Amino acid sequence: MDTFQGIEIDSLSNIREAIKEGVFSLPDLVDHYLATAEKHQDLNAYVSLFSAEAKERANNLQLAFETDPTAAGPLFGAVLSIKDNICLAGAEVTAASKILEGFESLYSATAVERLLEAGAIIIGRTNCDEFAMGSASEHSAYGPVKNADAPDHVPGGSSGGTAVSVQCGSCLIGLGSDTGGSVRQPASFCGLTGLKPTYGRISRHGLLAYASTFDQIGLIGRKAEDLALCLSVMAGPDEYDMTAAKEPLPASEIKKTAGSKRFCYFDFCVDHAGLQREVQDAFRRKLEALKKAGHIVEQVEFPWRDYLVPAYYVLTTAEASSNLSRYDGVRFGRRSPQAKTVEEVFDLSRTEGFGAEVKRRILLGTFVLSAGYYDAYYGRAQKVRRLISDHNQELFQKYDAILAPTSPILPWKHGDKDQDPISVYLADIYTVYANLTGIPAVSIPLERDSESGLAIGMQIMTNQFEEDTLFSLIALENNLPEK
Amino acid sequence: MRVHMKYETVIGLEVHVQLNTRSKAFCGDATDFGASPNSQVSPISLAHPGTLPRMNTRQIDSAIKLGLALGSQFPEEIRFDRKNYFYTDLPKGYQITQDAKPICQGGSLPIRLKEGYRDIRIHHVHMEEDAGKSIHDQKEAHSLVDLNRAGVPLLEIVTEPDLRSGAEVDAFMTAVRQLVRYLDISDGHMEQGSLRCDVNVSVRLKGESVYGERCEIKNLNSMKFARQAIKHEFKRQTELLENGQKVSSQTRQFHPENGTTSPLRSKEDAPDYRYFPEPDMPPVPLEMEKIKSLAKEAGTLPWEYYNTFHDTYGLSAEAARILSETKETADHFLRLVQQSENKQKQIAKTGSNILIQHILPRFPLLEGFPLKPAQTAQFCQILVAKIIPTRAAIDVLLPAWIKAPESDPEQLIAELRLNKQTDTDELRRALTAIVQAHPKEKAIYKGGKRNLLGFFMGQALRKVGKHHDPGEVRKLLVELLEA
pLDDT digits (tens, 9 = 90+) for B219-240: 787 889 999 999 999 999 999 9
B460 against A216, higher pLDDT: A216
How many structural domains does chain B have? 3
Task: Write down which residue in B276, B293, B310 finishes a domain.
Answer: B293
Residues on chain A touching B93 (C-beta within 8 angstroms): 322, 324-326, 328
Q: Once rounded to an integer, what is the mean pLDDT over residues B242-252?
A: 93
Using CB atoms within 10 Å of the CB of residue B318, give its burial: 0 to 12 exposed, 13 to 18 middle, 19+ buried: exposed
Cα torsion angle, B280, B283, B286, B287, sign: negative
The reply to whether B204 and B324 lie within a common domain is: no
| Least confident among A324-328, B1-5, B452-456 | B1-5
Judge whether A423 lies within some domain.
no
How many structural domains does chain A have? 1
Residue A481 has pLDDT above 80, yes or no: no
Task: Write down which residue in B268, B293, B318 finishes a domain.
Answer: B293
Length of chain A: 483
Digit-coded pLDDT (tens) for B45-62: 999 999 999 999 999 999
Residue B97 has pLDDT above 90, yes or no: yes
Of A208, A243, A378, the CB nearest to B49: A208
How far does Cα A381 stand from its chain's mean position?
Answer: 24
Report the alpha-carbon angle B79-B48-A245, nearest 5. 45
Find the residue in A nearest to B84 (Cα): A322
Residues on chain B touching A319 (C-beta within 8 angstroms): 276, 279
Residue B395: per-residue pLDDT: 87
CA distance A33 to A351: 38
pLDDT range class, residue A422, cuts 50, 70, 90: confident
- The residue segments making up the domain with residue A121 are 3-234
The reply to whether B80 and B169 lie within a common domain is: yes
The reply to whether B317 and B452 lie within a common domain is: no
Residue B159 has pLDDT above 50, yes or no: yes
The reply to whether B262 and B330 lie within a common domain is: no
Of A205, A213, A378, the CB nearest to B50: A205
Residue B31 has pLDDT above 60, yes or no: yes
Residues on chain A touching B50 (C-beta within 8 angstroms): 86-87, 93, 105, 109, 204-209
Exactly one of A25, A81, A83, A232 is catalytic; name it: A83
A207 touches chain B (CB under 8 A): yes
Q: Once rounded to an integer, what is the mean pLDDT over residues A443-469?
A: 97
Of B48, B86, B143, the CB nearest to A325: B86
Residue B156: closest CA among B124, B120, B190: B124
The reply to whether B158 and B184 lie within a common domain is: yes
Residue A483: per-residue pLDDT: 42
- B281 and A204 in contact by Cβ < 8 A? no
- B94 and A242 in contact by Cβ < 8 A? no
Cα torsion angle, B265, B266, B267, B268, sign: negative
Q: Once rounded to an integer, what is the mean pLDDT over residues B153-176?
A: 96
- The residue segments making up the domain with residue B368 are 300-415
B124, B104 Cβ separation under 8 angstroms: yes
Residues on chain B touching A103 (C-beta within 8 angstroms): 49
Residues on chain A touching B78 (C-beta within 8 angstroms): none
Distance, in angstroms, between A345 CA and closest chain B CA?
9
pLDDT range class, residue B465, cuts 50, 70, 90: low
In the residue annotation, A159 being an active-site residue is answered as no
CA distance B188 to B171: 14
| Least confident among A431-435, A470-474, B95-99, B423-427 | B423-427
Judge whether A71 lies within some domain.
yes
Residue B1 has pLDDT above 60, yes or no: no
CA distance A386 to A382: 6
Q: Map A265-309 to HEC letters.
A: EEHHHCCCCCCCHHHHHHHHHHHHHHHHCCCEEEEECCCCHHHHH
Judge whether A110 lies within some domain.
yes
Of A212, A240, A322, the CB nearest to B84: A322
CA distances from B255 to A474, B190, B248, B258, B266 (A): 70, 18, 19, 6, 18
- A205 and B274 in contact by Cβ < 8 A? no
Residue B423 has pLDDT above 70, yes or no: no
A165 Ramachandran zone, left/alpha/beta (phi>0; psi -120 to 50): alpha
Residue A224: per-residue pLDDT: 97
The reply to whether B65 and B197 lie within a common domain is: yes
CATH number at residue A55: 3.90.1300.10
- A205 and B52 in contact by Cβ < 8 A? yes
- A330 and B279 in contact by Cβ < 8 A? no
Residue A11: per-residue pLDDT: 97
Residue B414: per-residue pLDDT: 83
CA distance B427 to A125: 98
Residues on chain B touching A90 (C-beta within 8 angstroms): none
Task: Write down which residue in B366, B381, B415 finishes a domain.
Answer: B415
For B256, phi then psi, to 5°, come to -60, -30
Of B52, B91, B94, the CB nearest to A204: B52
Residue B135 has pLDDT above 90, yes or no: no
Residues on chain A touching B145 (C-beta within 8 angstroms): 330
| Least confident among A287-296, B311-320, B427-436 | B427-436
- A212 and B86 in contact by Cβ < 8 A? no
Average pLDDT, chain B: 91
The reply to whether B203 and B104 lie within a common domain is: yes
CA distance A328 to A41: 32
B233 Ramachandran zone, left/alpha/beta (phi>0; psi -120 to 50): alpha
Find the residue in A nearest to B85 (Cα): A325
CA distance A204 to A219: 14
Residue B467 has pLDDT above 90, yes or no: no
Q: pTM of the entire structure?
A: 0.91
Residues on chain B touching A370 (C-beta within 8 angstroms): 272, 274
Judge whether A188 lies within some domain.
yes
The reply to whether B330 and B211 lie within a common domain is: no
Digit-coded pLDDT (tens) for A71-112: 999 999 999 999 999 999 999 999 999 999 999 999 999 999
The reply to whether B304 and B259 lie within a common domain is: no
- Cα dihedral B359→B363→B364→B366 (10° resolution): -80
Judge whether A399 lies within some domain.
no
- B48 and A105 in contact by Cβ < 8 A? yes
In the residue annotation, A158 being an active-site residue is answered as yes
ipTM over 0.90: yes
The reply to whether B352 and B393 lie within a common domain is: yes
The reply to whether B256 and B336 lie within a common domain is: no
CA distances from A165 to A225, A235, B328 (A): 19, 23, 68
Residue B421: per-residue pLDDT: 53
Residue A76: closest CA among A60, A56, A57, A61: A61
- B84 and A207 in contact by Cβ < 8 A? no
- B94 and A211 in contact by Cβ < 8 A? no
A387, A165 Cβ separation under 8 angstroms: no
pLDDT range class, residue B3, cuts 50, 70, 90: low
Share of chain A above pLDDT 90, in %: 94
Residue B405: per-residue pLDDT: 92
DSSP reduced 3-state for A376: helix
Residue B419 has pLDDT above 90, yes or no: no
| Least confident among A80-84, A349-353, A375-379, B221-225 | B221-225
A205 touches chain B (CB under 8 A): yes
CA distance A233 to A116: 10
Residue B2: per-residue pLDDT: 62
Q: Once rounded to an integer, what is the mean pLDDT over residues B391-415?
A: 88
Q: Once rounded to an integer, what is the mean pLDDT over residues A174-196?
A: 98
Exactly one of A182, A321, A336, A443 is catalytic; name it: A182
Interface of B with A (CB under 8 A): 43, 46-55, 82, 84, 86, 88, 91-94, 136, 143, 145, 272, 274-276, 279-282
The reply to whether B126 and B14 lie within a common domain is: yes
Using CB atoms within 10 Å of the CB of residue B50, give its burial: 0 to 12 exposed, 13 to 18 middle, 19+ buried: buried
Q: What is the DSSP string of A71-90?
A: G--TTTT-EEEEETTB--TT
- B84 and A212 in contact by Cβ < 8 A? no
